[in-house]
Structure 1
Amino acid sequence: MKADPLAQIKLLDLQELDSRIAHLKHQLATLPQITQLETARAERAEVDNAARDARIARDDLSLAQRKADNDVEAVKARRVRDEARLNAGQGSAKDLEALQHELGALAKRISDLEDIELELMEELEGSTAEAGRLEAQVAEIDARIAELEESKASAEAEIRAEGSAAFAQRGPLVEDFPADLLALYDKLRDQYGVGAALLRARRCGGCGLDVDAAELSRIRTTPAAEVVRHEDCGRILIRTSESGL
């Protein structure tokens, strides 16, 4: 393939621009906020699940405490009725003796229920505190996620603006290239990331390998209008006064 030597040299400007665009795309895909958001969202899901479990436990304990409260009140009400009957002397001596025994049993039952009630109150207090702590942690993570999303959006906007400017520069630049040269460059760039590289001090700027003596000899005798490619990596080699030929 033949191409104007000046057009070949201008490929370096195009390659520099394309490398910049590729770098911006890589930046966009690898923003640190992306990983940070993934970590924060996973943490939030874990803490939110724990908070949900804590709320369920709290609600169960609250229900159990209300039941215990009702049980205590029911037994106390029964004791009040029995005490009233006993004080009124209603019934036979045997009935009154039975009431006394029942009052003793009711006192023991009330004591047991109040112990249960107290334990439930303590557990409920701890469960409520744990649910509150976890809900506060979820809120803190949500705030962190919001900050990361804002930071990510800002970084993306900045990178996209820079990318748009680079793309705007690329349009007029590629209009100056012969179609076949541009097609070869684009094909190589798609394959290797770098389609054209400077031959500097006998080294390929694309792959970083030194060009051997035999290939240098061939390149040295190749007309300037002939497009030269590196035998090892296949990229277009751009020859200048820096090439060491």
Structure 2
Amino acid sequence: MKAAPAVQRTLLDLAEIDIELNRVAHRRGSLPELTEITGIEAEAATSRDAVTAAATVLADLRRDADRLEKEVDQVRARGKRDEDLLKGGNVSARQVADLEHELESVRRRQALLEDELLELMERIEAAETQVSVAEGELAEVRQRLGDAERRRDEALADLGTVETRRTEAREAVVGSVPEGLLALYERLRAQKGTGAALLRARRCGACRLELDRTALSELRKAAPDDVVRCEECGVILVRTGESGL
């Protein structure tokens, strides 16, 4: 295959653009913010579970408190009924004794329930504090997640701008490369990661290996418009005054 030396040198511009586009693609998939976001999302899941657990405990305690309050109200109502009967004076002496005994039992039951309710209210207060703490921790995690996502989006936007500009530049360069030469370049790039490299000081710019005497002799014999390739890695070698031939 033949191509004018100036056209071959254009492949170096194309290769440089492709290297930069590859860097953009690699950078897009390896942003530190991506790893950071994954870690924070795991923290957020743990924090949400903590909030749910604390809220469940609080709900159970409040439900128990409602039950106890209703029971206390019932006991108080029973005690008041007994007191009203005693004050009414319309009961026999035996009924008075029974009512007084029952009233004493009711009062003991009421005191027990009220103590239990007081303890439960203290537990509710502690559970409310735990819910508040868990919600605060979740809010802090969400704030950090939002910050990381913002930084990720900014980085992706910057990469997108670079990619757009370099893609436009690539299209301009591609338009000046003959179809056959471009097809060879693209095939080599797909296979080896790069399609063309500068031969500088007898060393291939792609594999970084110095060519041996036989290869250098063949290159010296090649016409300036011959498209030559590295015997080691196979990419198109672009010869310039720096090649050392």
Length-normalised TM-score, structure 2: 0.91
CA distance in 1, matches of 2:146, 2:42: 14
Residue 189 of structure 1 is matched in structure 2 by: 189
Q: Which runs of 4+ in 1 moved over 6 A?
A: none
Q: Judge conservation of contact 1:33–1:152 (CA < 8 Å) in 2.
A: yes
SS in 2 for 1:139: helix
CA-atom RMSD, angstroms?
1.9
Residues 119-171 of structure 1 show CA distances to partners (whole Å, capped at 9, x for unaligned) of: 21111111111112222222222222222232222222222112111111112
Residue 166 of structure 1 is matched in structure 2 by: 166
Cα offset for 1:199? 1.7
The one-letter code of the counterpart of 1:29 is G
Q: How does 1:16-35 map to 2 (within 5 A)?
A: 16-35=16-35
Residue 77 of structure 1 is matched in structure 2 by: 77
Residue 109 of structure 2 is matched in structure 1 by: 109
Q: In the alignment, does 2:223 pair up with 1:223?
A: yes
The runs of 5 or more residues in structure 2 that have no matched partner are: none
Q: In the alignment, does 2:180 pair up with 1:149?
A: no
SS in 2 for 1:177: coil
CA distance in 1, matches of 2:102, 2:219: 115
Q: Judge conservation of contact 1:203–1:211 (CA < 8 Å) in 2.
A: yes
Q: How does 1:17-56 map to 2 (within 5 A)?
A: 17-56=17-56
CA distance in 2, matches of 1:205, 1:236: 10
The one-letter code of the counterpart of 2:240 is T
The one-letter code of the counterpart of 1:126 is A
Residue 135 of structure 1 is matched in structure 2 by: 135
SS in 1 for 2:37: helix
CA distance in 2, matches of 1:17, 1:69: 76
The one-letter code of the counterpart of 1:46 is T
Cα offset for 1:206? 0.9
Cα offset for 1:11? 1.0
SS in 1 for 2:64: helix
Q: Judge conservation of contact 1:229–1:235 (CA < 8 Å) in 2.
A: yes
CA distance in 2, matches of 1:210, 1:90: 122
Cα offset for 1:196? 0.7
Cα offset for 1:101? 2.3
CA distance in 2, matches of 1:83, 1:176: 108
Count how many residue pairs are aligned between Structure 1 and Structure 2. 245
Residues 167-201 of structure 1 show CA distances to partners (whole Å, capped at 9, x for unaligned) of: 11112211111111111111111222211111222
Q: Judge conservation of contact 1:204–1:210 (CA < 8 Å) in 2.
A: yes
Once the two structures are aligned, what percentage of the paired residues are identical? 40
Residue 234 of structure 2 is matched in structure 1 by: 234
Cα offset for 1:220? 2.8
Cα offset for 1:75? 0.8
CA distance in 2, matches of 1:175, 1:103: 104
Residue 124 of structure 2 is matched in structure 1 by: 124
The one-letter code of the counterpart of 2:64 is A
SS in 2 for 1:211: coil
